[in-house]
Amino acid sequence: MPIEALGGFESMRESVRSLQIYLMLAGALGLLSNIAQLVQNIQVPVAVVVNLVFAGFCVSLLFCGARLKMLLTTNSRAVVTVLHTGIGLNLALIALLVSGGAEPVSIVRPMLGVLLLLYLRANTFRLAAEEGAQVASAAA
């Protein structure tokens, strides 16, 4: 069955405000989670580095969420770059976990992170195009 036949995907279109909430919620929850894991795994140098890198990424998600309206109209590439960075970090974490012999269940969280970031990326592209069209029509 083609995906278009399932219908209902138009209702999953995010607004600027809901995308802001997603970015800020993902950033805040990720930051708290990485700080908790950092404290828990302070004796493992690789875990400390990974958690610090992901905590920095979460701060960038918070920034993008706080400034999303402005970034969509002036520099949407910055938001997309942050999302691409997050996708890359999660894929690198999956590779690290798999190569380290981690339990298969441990890759679920980074895989969900990749899926969420791809969803946010698609909506960022759409909203940037819509915001650009609104700015262009207001200038005309």
Say if CB 98 and CB 66 are below 8 A apart: no
Tokens representing 78?
Answer: 């910055």
| pLDDT at residue number 2 | 45
Segment 97-102 shows an average pLDDT of 89
Using the predicted structure, report yes or no on whether residue 138 has a pLDDT greater than 70: no
Name residues whose C-beta falls within 8 Å of residue 14's C-beta, 6 or more positions apart in sequence. Answer: 22, 123, 127
- CA–CA distance, 52 with 34 (Å, rounded to integer): 7
Using the predicted structure, report yes or no on whether residue 1 has a pLDDT greater than 60: no
Task: Report pTM.
Answer: 0.82
pLDDT in tens, 51-83: 999 999 999 999 999 999 999 988 889 999 999
